[in-house]
Structures are given as C-alpha cells and as structure tokens.
Amino acid sequence: MEVAVFTINLDSFNMQQKELHRRAAMYRLAKSLREPPRRLEKIYAAVGNALVILGQQLLSRVQTAC
C-alpha cells in the first residue's frame, strides 16, 4: 500500500491530490467490477418472490374454481 506524502508547494499539492482522487476512483471502479451488483441481485430476488406469490395465488384460484 502506497502512502502519499504531500509537499508544501501548493501546485504540487494540488497535483498530488488530483492524482490521489483519480487513483481512488480507479480503485472503486475496479472493486465494483469485481463484485456482483448487489442492487441487481435484490431486484431479481424481489421479482422472483413476486412470481412465486403470483403463481401460488393462481393455483389456489384454479383449485377453488374446479
């Protein structure tokens, strides 16, 4: 792990800060690409649960109609 050392020169400090922010953004992007999207998994789970409930309701209605 690299430790950034900031200098007293304001221009150099600003450049180092921009580089640090750029590296952090790249790290977050790479990390998000490695991990499965949690929101998408939650959406799929919710849709799956809704389909199961709808299927159960349909079966109970068909059984009561017969």
pLDDT of residue 35: 77
Q: Is residue 62 pLDDT above 60, yes or no?
A: yes
Per-residue confidence (pLDDT) for residue 65, from 0 to 100: 82
* C-alpha–C-alpha distance, residues 52 and 3, integer Å: 52
What local confidence, expressed as pLDDT, does residue 40 receive?
82
3-class secondary-structure state, position 27: helix
Domain limits, the chain: 1-35, 36-66
pLDDT tens digits, 1-55: 566 665 568 888 889 999 999 999 999 988 888 877 788 888 899 999 999 999 9
pLDDT value at residue 64? 86
